[in-house]
Amino acid sequence: MKRSSITSPSHSRRRLATRVLGITAGVMATALMATGCSGAGGSSSNTIKVAYEKFGNFTQLDDHLKAVKKTFEKANPGITIKLEPIAAQNDDYYTKLALMERAPATAPDVIYEDTFKVKADAAAGYLLPLDSYTKKWADWSKFYDNAKEAGVGIDGKTYGIPMGTDTRALWYNKDLFAKAGLPVPWQPKTWDDVLAAAKTVKSKLPGVVPLNVYSGKPQGEGSTMQGFEMLLYGTPKGTLYDASSKKWVSGSKNFTDSLGFIKDVYQGNLGPTPEQALDTNAATVVTGDWLPKSKLAIDLDGSWVSGSWLSTGSNPWPQWSKVMGVAAMPTQDGQAPGVNSMSGGWTLAVGSKTKNPQKAFDFIAQALNKKGSQSYDIAASQIAVRSDVATDPAYVNSNPTSKFFSSLVKDTHFRPATTDYSQISNQITVAMESVMTGQQSPKEAAAAYDTALAGIVGAKSITKK
């Protein structure tokens, strides 16, 4: 995408609002038409609808599910797998999926479900508990216990089968670092070290974007997790949620400091312009254009990024492993453990309105058996959640960065597993955007977040830090 195609933050926000409204109207119209035609609605018990995200350069899931569909239909005569890819960035995907789930006529049988949405969607009645199925599934014992927890609802039941997990770190272009006189290999010890490297790139390599940190509302959870939480959880005892008291944290210096880093990047001209960062396709531009074409020096991003660069990916880049280096994101001042990462992942779940829950689960079981999980984890550069995949030489040797990203698991953090996290995450992106665009100072944006937080969870569910 040409940079000139992105206009202004306000235009980006209006365009995002228009797109979400369009998705909403389209899905509601579809649901109404389907309900009108079929009375009670819903697909045939012989048709299993699979809804999942297909966006930008990341097409590995689409390829994987197409392969599973072919083998599953062959092994199950009379059963049709209807793949329903949703071409949308995360927040738009969640919006469309939620609307589909509300009407029996449009509700999917199998759902690609982000781990942070499992509890909320299960509580809303969109997902089917799977314990009676996993109990009879021999493969379930191969999944790591902590990975299983990602698919558990607030009632303790299992609602999602994990596909893989991830970690986050700093990707950096070794060729650009060498030209700028920066050390290779590179491992910053503090936030200031990261900013110093970005400042060096800015002064030595005009025309190169020094540092990308996802920020703002259009990137949704990408901004919250890849950007803000990679900062906050690297501050001294930094957290959004106090698990011991089961209360959300308000008035935190760590929160303000994290927004301060966002200000340093965007108001210090060390990152993309706010207009570029607020484009919905920013992540696609970063992985598909800026990194492969040496337009970006440092990218705070996920372990999955190289998946699109593999020979089997959507944007093959044979030289990537020679050009790109990886470094752990340091803690704020280098305090123990010295590095920070965040982990998430996705699951496959069964929709509560399915007319054939057994076949829906059977499809998931085939998609995530040893062969299926390994194939997908390799293609999508996922950290394996099955013990038999994690130790398989074919997986271990599939990607030169797998060992590095897997090593970050011991120091990783997870998002609060609560039903109101989604609303709170959205308020974090609001705070980030107001700082990156210069509308508020970090202190002002943090105060506005605290007010919004109280409105979401109530004063009794907040602790001051």
Task: Count Cβ atoms below 10 Å from residue 26 Cβ, excluding itself.
Answer: 12
Only one residue has tokens 């299983």, namely 148
For the chain, the domain total comes to 2
Q: Within this chain, do residues 300 and 442 fall inside the same structural domain, yes or no?
A: yes
The encoded tokens of residue 305 equal 């990024």
Q: Within this chain, do residues 450 and 324 fall inside the same structural domain, yes or no?
A: yes
Backbone angles phi, psi at 452, to 5 degrees: -65, -40
Q: Within this chain, do residues 328 and 360 fall inside the same structural domain, yes or no?
A: no
Domain membership of residue 306 (yes or no) is yes
Domain membership of residue 354 (yes or no) is yes
Q: Within this chain, do residues 196 and 159 fall inside the same structural domain, yes or no?
A: no
Q: Within this chain, do residues 303 and 392 fall inside the same structural domain, yes or no?
A: no
Domain membership of residue 111 (yes or no) is yes
Omega cis (within 30) before 337:
yes
Q: Within this chain, do residues 279 and 206 fall inside the same structural domain, yes or no?
A: yes
Strand order in 241-242's β-sheet?
241-242, 247-250, 462-464
Domain membership of residue 20 (yes or no) is no
Cβ–Cβ < 8 Å for 224, 428: yes
Q: Within this chain, do residues 108 and 231 fall inside the same structural domain, yes or no?
A: no
Domain membership of residue 76 (yes or no) is yes
Domain membership of residue 223 (yes or no) is yes
Domain membership of residue 34 (yes or no) is no
Q: Within this chain, do residues 77 and 146 fall inside the same structural domain, yes or no?
A: yes
Q: Within this chain, do residues 161 and 205 fall inside the same structural domain, yes or no?
A: no
Per-residue pLDDT of the chain (465 residues; tens, 9 = 90+): 333 333 333 343 334 344 434 444 443 444 333 333 333 334 578 999 999 999 876 789 999 999 999 999 999 999 999 999 999 888 889 999 999 998 999 999 999 999 999 999 999 999 999 999 999 999 999 999 989 999 999 999 999 999 999 999 999 999 999 999 999 999 999 999 999 999 999 999 999 999 999 999 999 999 999 999 999 999 999 999 998 999 999 999 999 999 999 999 999 999 999 999 999 999 999 999 999 999 999 999 999 999 999 988 889 999 999 999 999 999 999 999 999 999 999 999 999 999 999 999 999 999 999 999 999 999 999 999 999 999 999 999 999 999 999 999 999 999 998 899 999 999 999 999 999 999 999 999 999 999 999 999 999 999 998
CATH number, domain of 319, equals 3.40.190.10
Q: Tell me the one-letter amino acid at 27.
A: V
* DSSP calls for 81-105: EEEEEE---HHHHHHHHHHHHHSTT
Please state the pTM of the whole predicted model: 0.85
Q: Within this chain, do residues 46 and 118 fall inside the same structural domain, yes or no?
A: yes
Query: What range defines the domain where residue 61 resides?
Result: 41-166+344-410
Q: Within this chain, do residues 176 and 273 fall inside the same structural domain, yes or no?
A: yes
Q: Within this chain, do residues 211 and 309 fall inside the same structural domain, yes or no?
A: yes
Domain membership of residue 151 (yes or no) is yes
